[in-house]
Amino acid sequence: MSSNDIFNVSSTCIDDFLGQYSSTDGFCSPNCVNSQIINATYVNSLSDSQAVQSTCTDVCYTSGNLGTAKYRQYGSVNNAACGLSNHGFTSNYDAPTQQDIIAASTFACVKNSNDDYCGDLLTQNNINAHNPVAGQQCPTGSNLTWFANLGCCVGTYSFAYSAGYLSRTSYDPGYSLADGGSNTCGVTFDYTVCGSSPISVTTISATTVLSGITNASFAASSVQNDFKTAIANVSGNNISSSDIHITSYSNVGRRSNALNVAYQMSVTDSSIASAISSNLADTAAITSALVATGSSDFASVTATSSSSSSTTTGGSSQTGRYSGFGYGQIAGIAGGLSFGCLMIGILAYGFTGNK
């Protein structure tokens, strides 16, 4: 009797399900059976920060076993033959590839230049603790310093969200201080992705000079949103306004009606980055796109110059790590892991007909 006969479902579904308990690269491997993070009591006794650090250095996590196991599980969930399709792990993919799963699984373990795990920093509790208090536009003192020290974690997580590798229900680090933070709160965010990111990403840094608009007018969020819409249209290549981050804007010399506007966007294809940079050099196209937004603030604006450069970072060899589900879920898996490994062995024995 085959596995397909027993469960009356696709053998692919059964293979994927059983595969996550593999004794070589799944939950039942020695690396995971002896893992501290697969011990529910241990994980639940840790703070959020300790849990991230413990997971990122745990042998089950770093060896690739946990990532492979979870890929198999989500592979089954997204297989139409299993009757459970359209339950994608990531927001932009109905059937994630192994690369998608691995990418989503590793962002928590990316580190910034201060050797801090981004997964430690960008927890909702941390954000709430450092956000501006009621009645303040900007955080102050050590709270403002905390935002400034996020470093490349800002770019890494912003990219992860826009690319669909992480859910928007998590914290978007640029949200609290918004784009143009250097003009409002004195913090300049750099949206370049960390070098330890699992995905190789090219960040385009551009500066466009606008004539015919004041600093005060551009400070309005609606005007900045229109600017990003125009730049997205000129960029092409499926760039949306939400992919564009304004990092600063300032007067050109002593002129009060001309601005240098600096902004960044990230893509995973360096050839696309090259095409976007070429498009952004077309000042006539930028001018037309700004006017086309219908904003009265851009009705008489002219883009007089525009330049950009690209930086490629990331693509480290952090394969197989998995932090895309909560530590509580790891703990939940742990409770039945020993029994599950035993039962999977019995089932596998039965499937072979060795009775």
Nearest CA-CA partner of 267 in 276, 258, 256: 276
Mean pLDDT of 206-226: 93
- In sequence order, the 6+-apart residues with CB closer than 8 A to the CB of 325 are 70
> Comparing 295 with 5, which gets the higher pLDDT?
295
Query: pTM of the prediction?
Result: 0.72
Q: Is the pLDDT of residue 243 over 80?
A: yes
Q: Tell me, what's the pLDDT at 135?
A: 73
- C-alpha distances (whole Å) from 232 to each of 85, 205, 342 are 32, 14, 54
Average pLDDT over residues 209-220: 93
255 Cβ contact partners less than 8 Å away, ≥ 6 residues apart = none
Q: Residue 351: exposed, middle, or buried by beta-carbon count in 10 A (0-12, 13-18, 19+)?
A: middle
| pLDDT tens digit sequence for 140-183 | 889 888 888 889 988 888 888 777 666 554 445 555 565 556 66
Cα distance between residue 188 and residue 303, in whole Å: 23
Tally Cβ neighbours within 10 Å of residue 353: 8
Report the DSSP beta bridge partners of residue 305. Answer: 209
Q: Is the pLDDT of residue 100 over 70?
A: no
Phi and psi of 101, rounded to 5°? -65, -45
Mean residue pLDDT across the chain: 75
**What secondary structure letter does DSSP report for 261?**
E
The answer to whether 4 touches 11, Cβ cutoff 8 Å, is: yes
Other CB atoms within 10 A of residue 15 CB: 13
| Model pLDDT, residue 71 | 67
* Tokens describing residue 124: 């909702």
What percent of the chain has a predicted confidence (pLDDT) above 90? 27
Q: Is 336 helix (H, G, I), strand (E, B) or coil?
A: coil
pLDDT bracket for residue 44 (50, 70, 90): low
Q: Which residues sit opposite 201 in a β-bridge?
A: 313
Cβ pair 138, 132 in contact under 8 A: yes
**What mean pLDDT comes out for the span 58-68?**
75
- What confidence score (pLDDT) does residue 9 get? 55
DSSP conformation class of 256: S
Q: Is 158 in contact with 245 (CB distance < 8 Å)?
A: yes
pLDDT score at 236: 94
Q: What is the pLDDT of residues 82-98, one digit of tens each?
A: 655 444 344 344 445 55
Which DSSP symbol is given to 78?
T
pLDDT recorded at residue 331: 40
The pLDDT value given to residue 78: 60
